[in-house]
Every structure is written in C-alpha cells, then in structure tokens.
Amino acid sequence: MEYALFAIIAYLLGSIPSGLIIGKYGYDTDIREHGSGNLGGTNTFRVLGIKAGLIVTSADILKGTLATALPLLFGAEVITLIIGIFAVIGHMYPIFAGFKGGKAVATSGGVILGVNPIIFFILLATFFLALYISKYVSLSSMISGVVGIVATLIVRDFGLTIVITLFTLFVIYRHRSNIKRIMNKTEPKITWM
C-alpha cells in the first residue's frame, strides 16, 4: 500500500510541467511551440534564456529529490529509488501536460541527488566536462549516465547501478532524434561555453 501511495505521489510530482508553467506565467510563452518543443530545461534555456532555464532545471531536479525524500519524511518502509523512478516517468509523460514532457535528465539527477549526493556531483562534473568538450547538451547527458553506471559499479552500490542504468536508457531513448542529428552534424551546439 505504501509503495502504491508514494509511487502515485512521485508520478504526480514528476508530472508538474515546470517549463510550461514558467513559460506561460512568467513569459507568456508556451515553450512547446518553440525550439525543440520539449518541456525540459534545455529547451527553456534556448527559448526563454538563462534565468528561466535555471529555474526550470532546478525545479525538475527538485521533483526527483522530493519524490525520494517524502517517504523518508513520513517514515515509510519503501525503497526510495523505486519511488524515484515514478517521478522520472511523470516527468517524461506528465498527466498535467498531455503526457508529453521532458527527456528525463534533470529529474533523474534529482532522484540520484536524493539517494547519493556524491554520485550526483560526479555526474554533474561529468556533464559539464563533456559539455565543455563536445558542446552538445544531449551527448553530455548520455555520457553522464554511462559514467554514473561505472561509478556505482566501482562503489558497489548495485541497486543504484540498476536504477541509473534504467535512467540512462530512458535518456538515450528520449534523445533518439538528437542522436540522429549528432550523427548528421545538425544538432545545435551551445555557444556560451
């Protein structure tokens, strides 16, 4: 019963469309109609700028962290990583935005932050290093996932290995079109780093 309750709460938290809310109420813009059409932080950065992008990315991370923290706050006997998966699913397929959401990166990071901050900061450092070298946000996100798998294997946290592997598969699946554009050399590169 506890699993079902917190899974539903996590899914609903993940479903909060941060990009849509910030875009519509802060900038009178539906970001689904601009850029890549995605609700995540990257498209928000491109369409609405740095301030909005930071707010949306932070909110999307917070959704994952909060989903893993709530069961602990209520003393529930559940595996928080499993609950966190539902927040990521909610972010990708949000009930509040027609089941068309983000690409799983920030909310996955938030779940990892909630259960293992050290691994989270390793992934964050990897992301920015890969971004500095490649200038591709999508590629950097996928590389971070792979590094996360390796890092959790090294520290022998096999439960986290399984979940990060699942998150990485989500991220790769959601970035299918980006992978094609990278291969065709048509994927946009960042210009600020």
What's the pTM value of the predicted model, to 2 decimals? 0.95
Question: Distance between CA 39 and CA 144 in Å, rounded?
Answer: 20
pLDDT value at 140 more than 80: yes
Cβ distance 69 to 53 under 8 Å?
Answer: no
Token reading at 174:
């959601």
pLDDT band at 14 (very low <50, low <70, confident <90, very high): very high
Nearest to 22 by CA among 1, 51, 46: 51
pLDDT value at 193 more than 80: no
Q: How far is CA 36 from CA 124, 127, 182, 187, in A?
A: 23, 20, 15, 11
Reported as a single tens digit per residue, the pLDDT across 164-190 is 999 999 999 999 999 999 999 999 998
Radius of gyration of the chain (CA): 16
- In the chain, where the domains are located: 2-183
Neighbours of 56 (CB within 10 A): 29
Alpha-helical segments (H) within the chain: 2-14, 18-27, 41-48, 50-73, 80-92, 105-115, 117-134, 137-154, 158-174, 176-183
